[in-house]
Structure 1
């Protein structure tokens, strides 16, 4: 992973984990409300545990697991062709490897952003698909203001994060390009790409 992507993950790691909804609710909450509730939950984890402890990673993982649609993102990253050719076992393995890598990367980035000034500047519902929404944020950190937008899809009564765009850089597309390049490098061998994914990104 190049330095620009590492910096990108650092920022997103502290900020992308802000969407969740309780399955017990009668109806999905407004995404703006979810941002406020889960941001509080996330930074409670940040302040409760040493950043290099397993308890810390476990806490971050629990927040992420309620928020991110890992299997959906894994399918998008692999691409329609590779996902279609992959076995059920390969799909499951890649989703797990992808999740583990992101959880660790995000967890390492969270601590430095706990005191950033974060505000929601807009929530856009998809006019053609009521189960899609984009939440836009501004994040003030160390004198810079970052523009973020989060794409969510509604799954049952939950909103799940499926993509992040930071200052114009689309993370989903970036990971997809990396998978395509790795697959080409490995001569189309999906198992090798999965086995080497963490070193490739």
Structure 2
């Protein structure tokens, strides 16, 4: 998965340019449009330092990204073996690693990438897939699916897919190998040390 595109997808939920909005008929689509507009405003606020913009994006993202579910899906079956304390440590370390590795790319990319919401969406119970089209500066287009579930009036994001490639699947193999080699605590230490490969 292209690293800069990965960064843009993860940045709460997308530090991207939305030149025009598709008809946001469903509340999940309306929220995604609001997320995009809000993050764009922060990313383009040149009166703030990069660190301040990253902090504001992170604070906004905390309302909409379910880091616990993202972490559980990224680890896969071994997640059941984690103690509550290990889960807490892993979630915090994974979030910090993602922000550290990709925040700069996401803010830089915000000036060059265009995104529009697509009118299509799918649903299954309280789970929804909202789709967008991402266009790079070179004109290449990608489809991004944001996977959400509803909690009251809010739709929480628990996964992304870029042209069918799932964010949680991208990291699952790495975590699986780390757990085999270093155990759970060793894996948490590796994530804290940001020793995973960038995707």
Task: Normalising by structure 2, report the TM-score.
Answer: 0.81
| 8 Å Cα contact 1:17-1:67 kept in structure 2 | no
Asked if the contact 1:14–1:109 (Cα under 8 Å) also holds between the matched residues in 2, the reply is: no
Separation (CA, whole Å) in 1 of partners of 2:187 and 2:47? 33
Q: Which moved more, 1:44-53 or 1:99-108?
A: 44-53
Bigger Cα displacement from structure 2, 6-15 vs 30-39: 6-15
For structure 2, the residue ranges without an aligned partner over 5 or more in a row are 16-25
Query: 1:115-126 alignment to 2 at 5 Å?
Result: 115-126=112-123
2:172 aligns with one of 149, 172, 176 = 176
Instruction: Give CA deviations for 1:97-139 in whole Å, capped at 9, x if unaligned.
Output: 111122233422222224533211134242x41x100011111
User: How big is the shift at 1:87?
Assistant: 1.3
Select between 52-61 and 83-92 the one with higher mean Cα deviation.
Answer: 52-61
Give the Cα separation in 2 of the matches to 1:15 and 1:194.
23
Is 1:161 the counterpart of 2:157? The answer is: yes
Residue aligned with 2:86, SS: helix
**More divergent stretch after superposition (36-45 vs 7-16):** 7-16
| Consecutive aligned runs of 4 or more in structure 1 exceeding 3 Å deviation | 13-18, 49-53
User: Alpha-carbon deviations, 1:143-196, whole Å to 9, x = none?
Assistant: 11111111101123310111111122111111112110111222xx10110110
SS at match of 1:147: strand
Match of 1:200 in 2: 196
* CA–CA distance in structure 2, aligned partners of residues 153 and 52 of structure 1: 33
Is the contact between residue 45 and residue 56 of structure 1 (CA under 8 Å) also seen in structure 2? Answer: yes
Paired position in structure 2 for 1:140: 135
**Deviation, structure 1 residue 50:** 7.2
Root-mean-square deviation (CA), in Å? 2.3
- Closer, same or farther: CA 179–195 of 1 in aligned 2, 3 Å: same
Q: Is the contact made by 1:138 and 1:146 (CA closer than 8 Å) also made in structure 2?
A: yes
SS at match of 2:195: helix
CA contact (8 A) 1:57 1:104 kept: no
Q: CA deviation at 1:13?
A: 4.0
Per mean C-alpha deviation after superposition, the further-off stretch among 59-68 and 108-117 is 108-117
Q: Take 1:64 and 1:179, find their aligned partners in 2: how far apart are those partners?
A: 24
Alignment of 1:85-100 (within 5 A): 85-100=81-96
Question: 8 Å contact 1:74–1:98 — kept in the other structure?
Answer: yes
Note the C-alpha offset of 1:44.
Answer: 1.3
